[in-house]
Each structure stands twice: as structure tokens, then as C-alpha cells.
Amino acid sequence: MRIVITGANRGLGYELTAAAAQRGHSIIAGIRSAKPEGKLLDLIGRFPGQIEAVELDVCHEETVAQLAQNLMADGQAVDAIINNAGILLGRGVSIEALQMEDVTRSFEINLFGPMRVIKHLLPLVPDGPSRAIINISSEAGSLSNAYGGDYPYAISKTAINMLSKQLKKYVRGRGIRVYALHPGWIKTDMGGEKAPGDPVESAQGIIDILELRKDIDPEHFFINFKGEPMPI
Ligand code: NDP
């Protein structure tokens, strides 16, 4: 499988890249910098020819368009897209104190980012149920679980759930699976040290889902990394 993963240099995106490489997939690892560094560079060295790091800032549509153009020119298809890149801003800030830039930035990355990626890469995804688009969402985006006071992040994740549902309907005839996926509260820079979850376990679960190893009701679109339905 050829898998595009955004935000692949650290956190869940890095673990997804590592898990997919261990299973023999080829990965297009989207990163904001022009060149891979640190542990992603080491990982690329451990799996020669399997991981290609590409410059991909989900806020800069031209980097997304360029990737699509390069893949098309090489006649390369994309079997799966994992829209993982995300940002957490303004958590717990009251509506009166809210910085509107935090809201616009959250939407730029958490919603418009995946939209740009899908806009340019969907034409490269062949038909069939082995193909999938996974938008990394969060339990924070669940309307029924709304805990209050998490405006920029939670609302951007609710919006990505709607994007996923809309897209699922759009590609239904092509057989492509679409999910909004909660990866669990996991230990990353975003999740923090107190998080109970392990991003390695979450990444393995997500790759299991891509590989059709989980029995998921075809009507479910908001799921967790185990393939279980999440409350909408
Ligand atoms: P991290 O903060 O650890 O990593 C975020 C990643 O997103 C980094 O690779 C970062 O790149 C990248 N990124 C940020 N902005 C952009 C951009 N404009 N273009 C491309 N890449 C960008 O977060 P996590 O790994 O924890 O989160 C991954 C996903 O999981 C997110 O969508 C998040 O909302 C979701 N999630 C996480 C939870 C958790 O507990 N951690 C819980 C629920 C959901 P750079 O290094 O360049 O900044």
C-alpha cells in the first residue's frame, strides 16, 4: 500500500510512519521542513526505499498541489491518506477571552489542511474497499460529549467529522472507505506526559484498520483506533 501521512515527523504521525514501514508499506511522509531530520531521518535509514519524506505544509496549498503533481507525473497511485497533522490551541479559554487567531489557526490546520490534501490527492486514489482516507479527529469533536470551553480545537474536530461524513457519501460509489478517527488520549507533545495512551499502540490499530483487519460496520464513520464507534 502507498500511504500519505501528514505531520509525519513527530507524535502520532511519526508512529504511523514507523508502524506502516514495519508492515512493509511504502509511505509518503509529509513534513513542514524541506528535509527530514532527527528520528524521522533515522527511520528512513532503517527502511531503505520505503519512506519518502516530502515537504507538505497543510496550510500551504501549493505544497499539496506539488505533491499531487509529482505523483501524477510518476504515475503513482495513493492507496490511503492519513490526515494526521493537527494543532491544539486555546483549550479552556473562555469565550470572552478567546483569541480569534487561535480559532482561525485551528481551522486552517485541523480542517482546511485535510480539505486541501483530499482536494488534490483524491484523484490519485483508485476505487475499492482496500483504499481509505482517515482524518484524525478527536473525542473532543463529539457533539454528545461536548465538555465546554474548548472552542478552537473541539469545533475544528467536529467540523472534520462532518467533512468525513460528507466525503464518505461522495466516494461511496467508488468503494473508498472514509473515517474520522479518535486516536485515544496519547503521550505526544500534544497529549502530554499524563496521557494514558501509547501512540505506538494507537498507530498499530490505525494501520490494522487500513489493512481491513478490523470488523467495522460500514455505516460507522466516527471510530476510535480500535475500530469501535465513537458517539457523534
Ligand atoms: P503533536 O503536536 O505531537 O504533532 C503534531 C504534528 O502535526 C507535528 O508533526 C506537526 O509538525 C504537524 N503539523 C502542525 N501543523 C502543521 C502544518 N501546518 N502542516 C503540516 N504538519 C503540521 O500532535 P499528536 O501527534 O498528538 O496529534 C496528531 C493528531 O492526533 C492531531 O490531529 C491531533 O489533534 C490528534 N489527537 C491527538 C490526541 C492526543 O492525545 N495526542 C488526542 C486526540 C486527537 P511540526 O513538527 O512541523 O510542528
- So what's the ipTM on this one? 0.99
Task: Say how far apart CA 110 and CA 62 lie, in whole Å.
Answer: 17
231 part of a folded domain: no
Question: Is 191 near ligand 1, meaning CB less than 6 Å away?
Answer: yes
Task: Say how far apart CA 121 and CA 125 lie, in whole Å.
Answer: 7
229 part of a folded domain: no
**Coil/strand/helix, residue 4:** strand
**In one letter, which amino acid is 229?**
P
116 part of a folded domain: yes
230 part of a folded domain: no
| Cβ atoms of residues 74 and 52 within 8 Å | no
Q: Is 212 left (phi over 0), alpha (psi -120 to 50) or beta?
A: left
The count of domains in the chain is: 1
- The pLDDT value recorded for residue 34 is 86
30 part of a folded domain: yes
- The pLDDT value recorded for residue 147 is 87
Q: What's the CATH number where 72 sits?
A: 3.40.50.720
State the residue range of the domain holding 38: 2-224
- The pLDDT value recorded for residue 63 is 97
Task: Say how far apart CA 55 and CA 34 lie, in whole Å.
Answer: 5
Under 8 Å CB-to-CB from 170, ≥6 apart: which residues?
Answer: none
Ligand 1 mean position, distance from CA 46 (Å):
23
Residue ranges in the chain whose pLDDT is less than 50: none
| Cβ atoms of residues 8 and 53 within 8 Å | yes
The residue written with cell numbers 479518535 in the block is 182
Question: Is 135 near ligand 1, meaning CB less than 6 Å away?
Answer: no
Under 8 Å CB-to-CB from 6, ≥6 apart: which residues?
Answer: 13, 30, 56, 58, 82, 83, 84, 85, 113, 114, 117
| Cβ atoms of residues 110 and 185 within 8 Å | no
Question: Is 159 near ligand 1, meaning CB less than 6 Å away?
Answer: no
7 part of a folded domain: yes
49 part of a folded domain: yes
Closest C-alpha to 85, from 160, 148, 24: 160
Q: Are strands 132-136 and 80-83 parallel, antiparallel or unpaired?
A: parallel
232 part of a folded domain: no
Question: Is 138 near ligand 1, meaning CB less than 6 Å away?
Answer: yes
